[in-house]
Amino acid sequence: MNFLSYVISIAIFTILAQNIVFQSVFGFNIVVYAAQKRSRMAAFSLIIFITVFFSSMLSSAVDYFIRDNSSYYIYMPLVYIVIISFVYFSALYIMWRFFPKFYSRIKNYVHIAVYNCAVLGSLMINNIGNGFAEYLAFSVGLPLGFIIAGYLLLAAAKRLNSEEVPAAFRGYPITMVYAGIISMAFYALYEYTL
Protein backbone atom coordinates (compact mmCIF):
# COMPACT_ATOMS: atom_id res chain seq x y z
CA MET A 1 0.00 0.00 0.00
CA ASN A 2 2.93 2.30 0.77
CA PHE A 3 4.35 1.69 -2.71
CA LEU A 4 0.97 2.41 -4.30
CA SER A 5 0.38 5.61 -2.33
CA TYR A 6 3.92 6.76 -3.15
CA VAL A 7 3.33 6.14 -6.84
CA ILE A 8 -0.05 7.91 -6.74
CA SER A 9 1.37 10.95 -4.95
CA ILE A 10 4.18 11.29 -7.50
CA ALA A 11 1.69 10.84 -10.35
CA ILE A 12 -0.50 13.64 -8.96
CA PHE A 13 2.57 15.82 -8.55
CA THR A 14 3.51 15.11 -12.16
CA ILE A 15 0.05 15.99 -13.43
CA LEU A 16 -0.07 19.32 -11.62
CA ALA A 17 3.35 20.67 -10.73
CA GLN A 18 5.21 19.24 -13.69
CA ASN A 19 2.49 19.21 -16.30
CA ILE A 20 4.05 18.10 -19.53
CA VAL A 21 2.22 20.64 -21.67
CA PHE A 22 2.01 23.73 -19.49
CA GLN A 23 5.30 23.47 -17.58
CA SER A 24 7.67 21.44 -19.73
CA VAL A 25 5.93 22.65 -22.94
CA PHE A 26 6.27 19.30 -24.70
CA GLY A 27 3.67 18.48 -27.30
CA PHE A 28 1.81 21.77 -27.18
CA ASN A 29 1.12 21.88 -30.93
CA ILE A 30 -0.04 18.25 -30.78
CA VAL A 31 -2.49 18.95 -28.00
CA VAL A 32 -3.82 22.01 -29.85
CA TYR A 33 -4.34 19.86 -32.96
CA ALA A 34 -5.98 17.09 -30.95
CA ALA A 35 -8.25 19.45 -29.02
CA GLN A 36 -10.08 20.53 -32.15
CA LYS A 37 -12.42 17.53 -31.92
CA ARG A 38 -13.60 15.49 -28.99
CA SER A 39 -13.16 12.15 -30.76
CA ARG A 40 -9.67 13.08 -31.88
CA MET A 41 -8.74 14.14 -28.35
CA ALA A 42 -9.98 10.83 -26.97
CA ALA A 43 -8.02 8.86 -29.57
CA PHE A 44 -4.83 10.88 -29.02
CA SER A 45 -5.15 10.49 -25.25
CA LEU A 46 -5.46 6.73 -25.50
CA ILE A 47 -2.62 6.35 -28.01
CA ILE A 48 -0.26 8.61 -26.05
CA PHE A 49 -1.10 6.89 -22.76
CA ILE A 50 -0.38 3.44 -24.17
CA THR A 51 2.77 4.54 -25.98
CA VAL A 52 4.26 6.44 -23.04
CA PHE A 53 3.39 3.73 -20.54
CA PHE A 54 4.91 0.83 -22.45
CA SER A 55 7.84 2.86 -23.78
CA SER A 56 8.65 4.03 -20.24
CA MET A 57 8.62 0.48 -18.94
CA LEU A 58 10.98 -0.61 -21.72
CA SER A 59 13.22 2.44 -21.32
CA SER A 60 13.48 1.85 -17.56
CA ALA A 61 15.17 -1.47 -18.35
CA VAL A 62 17.43 0.07 -20.99
CA ASP A 63 18.34 3.11 -18.85
CA TYR A 64 19.40 0.87 -15.99
CA PHE A 65 22.21 -0.58 -18.08
CA ILE A 66 23.49 2.39 -20.02
CA ARG A 67 22.70 5.48 -17.91
CA ASP A 68 26.13 5.63 -16.36
CA ASN A 69 27.79 5.94 -19.74
CA SER A 70 29.06 9.52 -20.15
CA SER A 71 28.08 9.68 -23.83
CA TYR A 72 24.55 8.49 -23.15
CA TYR A 73 23.11 11.95 -23.79
CA ILE A 74 24.38 11.76 -27.39
CA TYR A 75 22.58 8.60 -28.45
CA MET A 76 19.68 8.78 -25.98
CA PRO A 77 17.24 10.08 -28.63
CA LEU A 78 18.19 7.22 -30.98
CA VAL A 79 17.63 4.61 -28.27
CA TYR A 80 14.28 6.11 -27.32
CA ILE A 81 13.13 6.40 -30.94
CA VAL A 82 13.92 2.70 -31.41
CA ILE A 83 11.91 1.85 -28.28
CA ILE A 84 8.99 4.04 -29.38
CA SER A 85 9.09 2.51 -32.87
CA PHE A 86 9.01 -1.00 -31.41
CA VAL A 87 5.97 -0.13 -29.27
CA TYR A 88 4.38 1.68 -32.23
CA PHE A 89 4.66 -1.17 -34.69
CA SER A 90 3.61 -3.75 -32.09
CA ALA A 91 0.55 -1.70 -31.19
CA LEU A 92 -0.29 -1.11 -34.87
CA TYR A 93 -0.13 -4.85 -35.57
CA ILE A 94 -2.30 -5.71 -32.55
CA MET A 95 -4.89 -3.09 -33.50
CA TRP A 96 -4.94 -4.13 -37.17
CA ARG A 97 -5.29 -7.80 -36.23
CA PHE A 98 -7.75 -7.68 -33.33
CA PHE A 99 -9.46 -4.27 -33.48
CA PRO A 100 -9.79 -3.50 -37.20
CA LYS A 101 -12.66 -1.03 -36.77
CA PHE A 102 -10.73 1.02 -34.24
CA TYR A 103 -7.63 0.83 -36.42
CA SER A 104 -9.47 2.17 -39.46
CA ARG A 105 -10.71 5.12 -37.42
CA ILE A 106 -7.36 6.14 -36.05
CA LYS A 107 -4.97 5.21 -38.82
CA ASN A 108 -4.96 8.77 -40.23
CA TYR A 109 -3.28 10.27 -37.21
CA VAL A 110 -1.85 7.47 -35.07
CA HIS A 111 1.65 8.25 -36.34
CA ILE A 112 1.35 11.92 -35.30
CA ALA A 113 0.14 10.83 -31.88
CA VAL A 114 3.17 8.58 -31.39
CA TYR A 115 6.06 10.51 -32.94
CA ASN A 116 5.91 13.83 -31.16
CA CYS A 117 7.60 15.80 -28.44
CA ALA A 118 5.12 14.73 -25.76
CA VAL A 119 6.04 11.05 -26.03
CA LEU A 120 9.79 11.51 -26.46
CA GLY A 121 9.80 14.23 -23.81
CA SER A 122 8.03 11.92 -21.35
CA LEU A 123 10.79 9.34 -21.76
CA MET A 124 13.46 11.99 -21.31
CA ILE A 125 11.87 13.45 -18.18
CA ASN A 126 11.61 9.92 -16.81
CA ASN A 127 15.30 9.35 -17.35
CA ILE A 128 16.45 11.60 -14.53
CA GLY A 129 17.96 9.01 -12.17
CA ASN A 130 14.67 7.46 -11.08
CA GLY A 131 13.75 4.16 -9.43
CA PHE A 132 10.99 1.88 -10.70
CA ALA A 133 8.28 3.59 -8.60
CA GLU A 134 9.13 6.93 -10.15
CA TYR A 135 9.16 5.42 -13.65
CA LEU A 136 5.71 3.95 -13.05
CA ALA A 137 4.34 7.18 -11.61
CA PHE A 138 5.76 9.35 -14.37
CA SER A 139 4.58 6.97 -17.08
CA VAL A 140 1.03 7.41 -15.75
CA GLY A 141 1.19 11.03 -14.62
CA LEU A 142 2.74 12.54 -17.74
CA PRO A 143 0.12 11.29 -20.21
CA LEU A 144 -2.63 12.14 -17.74
CA GLY A 145 -1.23 15.66 -17.65
CA PHE A 146 -1.47 15.71 -21.43
CA ILE A 147 -5.10 14.58 -21.24
CA ILE A 148 -5.97 17.28 -18.71
CA ALA A 149 -4.27 19.91 -20.87
CA GLY A 150 -6.23 18.65 -23.87
CA TYR A 151 -9.50 18.83 -21.96
CA LEU A 152 -8.81 22.42 -20.88
CA LEU A 153 -8.07 23.45 -24.47
CA LEU A 154 -11.05 21.51 -25.83
CA ALA A 155 -13.39 23.19 -23.35
CA ALA A 156 -12.23 26.66 -24.37
CA ALA A 157 -11.88 26.01 -28.10
CA LYS A 158 -15.27 27.47 -28.99
CA ARG A 159 -14.62 30.70 -27.15
CA LEU A 160 -11.06 31.04 -28.40
CA ASN A 161 -12.17 30.73 -32.03
CA SER A 162 -15.35 32.82 -31.75
CA GLU A 163 -16.07 35.98 -33.72
CA GLU A 164 -15.90 38.07 -30.54
CA VAL A 165 -12.13 37.63 -30.30
CA PRO A 166 -10.26 40.29 -32.30
CA ALA A 167 -9.21 38.88 -35.67
CA ALA A 168 -5.52 39.35 -34.92
CA PHE A 169 -5.82 37.19 -31.81
CA ARG A 170 -8.36 34.66 -33.02
CA GLY A 171 -7.19 31.04 -33.01
CA TYR A 172 -3.49 30.40 -32.40
CA PRO A 173 -2.47 33.68 -30.66
CA ILE A 174 -5.20 33.68 -28.05
CA THR A 175 -4.70 29.95 -27.52
CA MET A 176 -1.10 30.72 -26.59
CA VAL A 177 -2.24 33.44 -24.19
CA TYR A 178 -4.79 31.04 -22.70
CA ALA A 179 -2.12 28.39 -22.22
CA GLY A 180 0.14 30.98 -20.62
CA ILE A 181 -2.51 31.90 -18.09
CA ILE A 182 -3.11 28.25 -17.19
CA SER A 183 0.64 27.73 -16.92
CA MET A 184 0.77 30.73 -14.58
CA ALA A 185 -2.03 29.26 -12.47
CA PHE A 186 0.16 26.20 -11.80
CA TYR A 187 2.60 28.49 -9.99
CA ALA A 188 0.54 28.20 -6.83
CA LEU A 189 2.51 25.03 -6.22
CA TYR A 190 5.87 26.75 -6.40
CA GLU A 191 7.66 28.94 -3.90
CA TYR A 192 8.75 32.31 -5.14
CA THR A 193 12.06 33.92 -4.38
CA LEU A 194 11.14 37.12 -2.59
Q: Which of 18, 116, 130, 139 binds another protein (CB under 8 A)?
A: 116
Residue 25 CA to residue 61 CA, distance in Å, equals 26
Question: Taking contact as CB under 8 A, which single stretch among the options 24-32, 45-53, 56-64, 132-140 is the one that binds another protein?
Answer: 24-32
Residue 20 CA to residue 26 CA, distance in Å, equals 6
132 lies in the binding site for another protein (CB under 8 A):
no
Least Å from the CB of residue 107 to another protein: 7
81 lies in the binding site for another protein (CB under 8 A):
yes
Q: Which residues of 11-42 are buried (b: 16+ CB within 10 A; e: fewer)?
A: beebbbebbbbbbbebbbebbbbbbeeeebbe
> Chain centroid to CA 82: how far?
18
24 lies in the binding site for another protein (CB under 8 A):
yes
Cβ atoms 35, 41 nearer than 8 A: yes
| Number of Cβ atoms within 10 Å of the Cβ of 130 | 18
182 lies in the binding site for another protein (CB under 8 A):
yes
4 lies in the binding site for another protein (CB under 8 A):
no
Q: List contacts with another protein (CB under 8 A).
A: 22-29, 32, 73-78, 80-82, 84-85, 88-89, 92, 107, 110-112, 115-117, 119-121, 124-125, 152, 155-156, 159, 162-169, 172-185, 187-194
